[in-house]
Amino acid sequence: MEKLIEYSPLLARGALVTIALALIALALATLLGGLAAAARIAGGRLGQGVVLVYTSIVRGVPDLVMILLIYFGGQRLLNLSLAPFGLQASLSPFWAGVIAIGIIYGAYLAETFRGAYMTVPRGQIEAGQSLGLRGLALVWNVILPQLVRFALPGYGNVWQVLVKSTAVVSVIGLSDLVGLANDAGKTAREPFIFLSAVMLVYLAITWVSSNALGMLERRVALKGHHAR
């Protein structure tokens, strides 16, 4: 146990890396999910086809395979595409993890967003149009505020799964909570204690996020209305 306390600053840094990775990946996933949902709703045949291929690939491939593929394959792709310009760049484990997890959970969020869009009553959109709102103004002022309310529970679920998914990024050498605790646990000859501490940190993240999400859901809920 003393060893765990000795190493706790290191593990805290690892936990910060894990949380940063999860939050940035969530931002990317939200962007990709939003674009994919928009393409499914208003992208025509081509847009729908592209989204179908995207979501099918993501659903078929384990997250660990996706991360390894993007880390090692992505580096090769960077080398090939930058070589003609005499440039060089390297893909760090952190950003490879962000890209892979962003791509994976973007596909799940696309479904969440599309489902939430379907629950926005048509009359609301038509009312907006009849007031002269079009395009982004309609999306921003009428659709989004209502969509958020319906999308939040699904969004929260995706976040909880996403956080756990970041653990596999340690396989490509990221010094996140899992990577650091696994190495430190071996050095300190107390791997069980160190890995148990990791489990507790993940449980704490889950607990804090589910409380925060519950508060957020109550805040966006309509006063006097029950969420459907």
Partner 1 sequence: MRVDLVLQNWHLFASGVWMTLQLTAIALVIGFLIALPSGIARARGTPIVSPIVNGFVYVFRGTPLIVQTFLIYFGLGQFEWIRDSWAWTFLRDPWWCAVIAFSLNSAAYATEIIRGAVSNIPRGELEAASALGLSPRQVDLLVLIPSALRRALPQYGNEVVFMLHGSAVASVITLQDILGAGRTLNARHYLAYEGFVTAALLYMAITFAIVLVFRQLEDRYLRHLRLSR
Binding positions for partner 1, 68-107, rule CB under 8 A: 68-69, 72-73, 75-76
What distance in Å separates the CA atoms of residue 118 and residue 154, rounded to the nearest whole number?
A: 14
Beta strands in the chain (DSSP E): none
Q: How far is the CB of 144 from partner 1 (least distance, A)?
A: 29
For partner 1, the closer of residues 102 and 179 by Cβ is 179
DSSP per position, 10-24: HHHHHHHHHHHHHHH
Q: Which stretch binds partner 1 (CB under 8 A): 20-28, 127-135, 150-158, 192-200?
A: 192-200
Report the residue from 168, 174, 180, 184 that binds partner 1 according to the rule CB under 8 A: 168
CB of 49 to partner 1, least distance (A): 17
Contact status: 221 vs partner 1 (CB under 8 A): no
Q: What region, left, alpha or beta, does residue 135 occupy, with left being phi > 0 and alpha being psi -120 to 50 degrees? A: left
Assess 167 for contact with partner 1 (CB under 8 A): yes
The residue whose two tokens read 């653990």 is 167
CA 174 – CA 4 distance, rounded (Å): 20
Beta carbon of residue 134, minimum distance to partner 1 (angstroms, whole number): 38
* Residue selected from 17, 36, 63, 96 as contacting partner 1 according to rule CB under 8 A: 63
Question: Can you tell me whether residue 122 is helix, strand or coil?
Answer: helix
Nearer to partner 1, 66 or 139 (CB): 66
Q: How far is CA 188 from the centre of its chain?
A: 33
Residues in CB range of 21: below 8 A, 6 or more apart = 94, 97, 98, 101, 166, 169, 174, 176
**Residues 34/72, Cβ–Cβ less than 8 Å:** no
Q: Give the shortest CB-6-to-partner 1 separation in angstroms.
A: 16
The number of residues in the chain equals 228
Stretch that binds partner 1, among 9-17, 27-35, 36-44, 165-173 (CB under 8 A): 165-173
Residues that bind partner 1 (CB under 8 A): 56-57, 59-66, 68-69, 72-73, 75-76, 164-168, 170-171, 178, 182, 185-186, 189-193, 195-196, 198-199, 202-203, 206-207
